[in-house]
Amino acid sequence: MGLTGIFLCTFLVVHVSGNFQLFKSDQGLAFNEYTVFMTTNPLIKVVSYLLYASIIFHAIKGLHLAYKNTQARPVKYAVTNGKANSHWTSRNMGILGTIILVFIVVHMGDFWFEYKFGKVPYVEYRENIITGDVTRADYGKELHGKKQEYIEGNDRVVILKDLYLEVSEEFKELPLVLLYILSMAAIAFHLYHGFKSAFQTLGVNHPKYNGIIQFIGIWVFSILIPLSFAAMPLYFYFVK
């Protein structure tokens, strides 16, 4: 659980960094090119399979641990005070993890599956080499590959799948936006306990390191990353 949890945390850093391309004022060119890179690079492909395996293992093992905890004491204490011994996040990791698992299934279905097997349209970009101005137009047909690029006059012409349009359209739906906000809150609380707990499980529990681990766990993984992910659907719903 600790090792897969830390690996998934590193994935979150990479994923949120790449998704920041959504905020660029280039009509989605940078994000669509990033998507092609992430789905064609051989090394990324190998890591992605490890990622899928880690998500499945982490989810199943987490549910198994939650089940074992309930079986360990089938008859509850007459009086309990959970606050005295642990934060509520540590007592509800199973519930938080289940919310996150549902979110991952929805997220993968809306974007990953749609990009791989759905009918995401192709778009043609023209980026002026001199001024950097970008224009886009529907391409209207498909390519044999995922990307075609060539120079025409002063323009760099790029033709590729338009996942940016898919993101923009999906995040106009309020129920999906609300699901993302709820899921990011669940991820924030899940990581609040999970990040430092993973290091403790692996034996990295020393006054010399605990301060920096707690700082990263709270400010990076419990606040910054969930807020960054949550900002994306809010941006498309209210701004774009």
**Structural domain contains residue 6:** yes
Q: To the nearest whole number, what is the mean pLDDT of the chain?
A: 89
In tens, the pLDDT along 64-109 reads: 887 887 777 666 655 555 555 566 666 677 788 888 989 999 999 9
Distance CA 14, CA 75 (A): 44
Instruction: Give residue 163's pLDDT.
Output: 96
Q: How many residues does the chain have?
A: 240
β-partners of residue 134 are 127
**Structural domain contains residue 146:** no
Structural domain total, the chain: 1
**Structural domain contains residue 156:** no
8 Å CB contact between 88 and 82: yes
Distance CA 39, CA 45 (A): 7
Domain residue limits at 96: 2-120+162-238
- CB within 8 A of 20, min separation 6: which ones? 228
**Structural domain contains residue 116:** yes
In tens, the pLDDT along 161-208 reads: 999 999 999 999 999 999 999 999 999 999 988 898 888 888 887 788
Beta strand pairing call for 155-161 and 147-152: antiparallel
Q: Which two tokens stand for residue 98?
A: 């289940």
Instruction: Give residue 85's pLDDT.
Output: 55
The string of DSSP letters for 39-84 reads: HH-HHHHHHHHHHHHHHHHHHHHHHHHHHHHHHH-SSPPSS--GGG
Instruction: Give residue 80's pLDDT.
Output: 55
Q: DSSP strand E in the chain: where?
A: 122-128, 134-138, 147-152, 155-161
**Structural domain contains residue 149:** no
**Structural domain contains residue 233:** yes
Q: What is the mean pLDDT of residues 2-19?
A: 93
